[in-house]
């Protein structure tokens, strides 16, 4: 005990000065990370809202999209240094990489639903079997990628060099942060409109609220479930582009594991099964993690602080901050 106390100042300290000085930079960078968490979290919350299933394999759906981004951009000539492209050409290449990631992640998500989960539904398997299957599917996909690409991360891909665009309270906001935050928010708004304003979205919410009644009213339940996995995969594919943009050397066979857990935590924080809750939870988790690492003086505290805050909030509000299920979401 004495040893632990003696070592205390070396492994934890409260650096309030740095926290105040870096408050706005941590906030802006946290929003960028949080936007990535939120996009992935929406996949978790959609599947849970419709099936009451925690799809732990969603993290591998995401990392497959990251590989699609890597191979697409590598084929277009991107490498360890920023290419000298015009703005129009760069936007076109990044859009192509995003579409490729969305398609690949969407296909993997649909295959996962058909192979792993649909047979269980037809046999009336209990929820625990679905949970175990999801964990097994996650490890299966992870190690299939390991066999294919090995343990080492892919080489770093630099899409463009971050350059300051404007300042907020003396803190520079660069083009990379703006791109991630604005594009991710736009995608999330489109997804929210799709779920709340379109016919397919209404069918999805109907199945989430009462699958038996929805079926009697002519809604194809299996088609809606497939659509749910497809949309979740598409959102994960979009997130993978921003992830590779933010973490150029992050494409690795197990690279989605921790990020997937944090995205799931974001979904729970905002209210699992709530689309807008996933957005709020992701942004909050990104900001809180950045605050924690600065206040406690080390990046190793990022995830610890974020999860401690999650636990505290759930103790006060077990259903999450918004706490409204997909089936009961307001139109």
Closest CA to 250 of 66, 32, 93: 66
Predicted TM-score of the model (pTM): 0.91
d(CA 188, CA 202): 17
Query: For the chain, what is the largest distance between any 2 Cα atoms, rounded to a whole number of angstroms?
Result: 69
The per-residue pLDDT for 244 is: 96
d(CA 292, CA 277): 22
* 8 A C-beta contact, residue 256 and residue 37: no
Rg value, the chain, Cα = 20
Tokens 């309270």, residue located: 169
pLDDT digits (tens, 9 = 90+) for 210-246: 888 888 888 899 999 999 999 999 999 999 999 999 9
Tokens 């759930």, residue located: 314
Element (DSSP H or E) covering residue 174: strand 171-174
Tokens 């139109």, residue located: 331
The set of residues, in sequence order, having a beta carbon less than 8 Å from that of 220 and lying 6+ positions away, is 203
d(CA 270, CA 218): 32
- Residue 149, phi then psi, degrees to nearest 5: -115, -10
d(CA 234, CA 198): 17
The per-residue pLDDT for 2 is: 39
Q: How far apart, in Å, are the Cα atoms of 257 and each of 69, 83, 140, 178, 275?
A: 18, 30, 13, 26, 22
d(CA 221, CA 107): 19
d(CA 45, CA 236): 12
pLDDT digits (tens, 9 = 90+) for 21-34: 889 999 999 999 99
Four-CA torsion 60, 66, 69, 75, nearest 10 degrees: -90
Q: What DSSP state is assigned to residue 227?
A: H
* 8 A C-beta contact, residue 228 and residue 50: yes
Q: How far apart, in Å, are the Cα atoms of 234 and each of 131, 208, 314?
A: 22, 20, 29
The per-residue pLDDT for 11 is: 58
Q: Which residues of the chain have pLDDT under 70?
A: 1-13, 324-331
The set of residues, in sequence order, having a beta carbon less than 8 Å from that of 259 and lying 6+ positions away, is 36, 37, 40, 59, 62, 243
- Count of all residues that appear for the chain in the document: 331
The per-residue pLDDT for 311 is: 86
């Amino acid at each position: 005990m004495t040893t632990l106390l003696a070592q205390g100042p070396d492994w934890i300290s409260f650096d309030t000065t740095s926290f105040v000085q870096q408050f706005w930079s941590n906030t802006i960078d946290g929003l960028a990370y949080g936007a990535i968490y939120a996009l992935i979290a929406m996949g978790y919350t959609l599947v849970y809202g419709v099936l009451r299933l925690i799809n732990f394999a969603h993290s591998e759906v995401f990392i497959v999209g990251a590989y699609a981004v890597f191979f697409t951009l590598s084929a277009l000539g991107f490498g360890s240094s920023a290419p000298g492209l015009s703005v129009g050409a760069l936007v076109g290449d990044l859009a192509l990489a995003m579409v490729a990631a969305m398609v690949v992640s969407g296909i993997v998500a649909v295959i996962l639903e058909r192979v792993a989960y649909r047979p269980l539904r037809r046999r009336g398997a209990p929820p625990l079997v679905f949970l175990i299957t999801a964990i097994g599917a996650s490890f299966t996909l992870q190690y299939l990628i390991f066999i294919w690409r090995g343990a080492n991360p892919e080489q770093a891909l630099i899409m463009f060099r971050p350059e300051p665009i404007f300042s907020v309270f003396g803190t520079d906001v660069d083009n990379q942060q703006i791109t991630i935050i604005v594009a991710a928010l736009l995608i999330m708004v489109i997804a929210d409109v799709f779920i709340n304003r379109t016919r397919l979205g209404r069918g999805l919410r109907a199945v989430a609220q009462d699958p038996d009644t929805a079926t009697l009213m002519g809604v194809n339940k299996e088609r809606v479930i497939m659509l749910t996995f497809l949309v979740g995969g598409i959102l994960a594919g979009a997130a993978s582009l921003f992830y590779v943009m933010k973490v150029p050397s992050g494409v690795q066979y197990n690279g989605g594991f921790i990020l997937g857990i944090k995205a799931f935590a974001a979904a729970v924080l905002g209210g699992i099964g709530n689309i807008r809750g996933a957005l709020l939870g992701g942004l909050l988790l990104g900001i809180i993690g950045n605050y924690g690492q600065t206040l406690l003086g080390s990046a190793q505290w990022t995830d610890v602080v974020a999860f401690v805050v999650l636990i505290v909030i759930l103790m006060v509000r077990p259903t999450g901050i918004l706490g409204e299920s997909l089936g009961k979401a307001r139109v």
